[in-house]
Amino acid sequence: MDWIRAFHIIVMVCWFAGIFYLPRLFVYHAESSDTISIERFKVMERRLYYGISTPSAILTTLFGLWLLMVGWPAYKTMGWMHAKLGLVVLLWIYHIVSGYYLVQFKHDRNTHSATFYRIFNEFPVLILIAVVILVEVQPF
């Protein structure tokens, strides 16, 4: 299971890299006014979301489910695992909402400011901190 856990962590890092960078691209996109920059951001956002973030999210979830199934007899009674799984659901919601914003930018329908995306960008940091603490400290 060490290999599965290693791959779970590797693709999780890739997912978080995309989740951290995509809203930053939204900030720059929202601040842009020239056509060349706007079109460049659309390409970058699409490639990051569909080429890196989404495949990494799927693989993170699959490897995580594999680990969960193998360890279920123990995990089913561990409160920290239930909390972690709840945070993973929130992260998936964040990922899907990011995809919605990507589509809004794609069709030139963005209604949010760069400041909104700067704040939006902070949410996954909180999830990452909480997940790492839950997994490493296992407080309950």
pTM confidence score: 0.94
Confidence band, pLDDT 50/70/90 cuts, at residue 67: very high
Residue 49 has pLDDT above 90, yes or no: yes
Q: pLDDT band for 1, please (50, 70, 90 cuts).
A: confident
Q: How far apart are CA 106 and CA 44, in angstroms?
A: 11
**Cα Rg for the chain, rounded, in angstroms?**
17
Banded pLDDT at 84 (limits 50, 70, 90): very high
Q: How much of the chain exceeds pLDDT 70, in percent?
A: 100
The least confident of 38-42, 73-77, 90-94, 96-100 is 73-77
Domain boundaries, the chain: 2-137
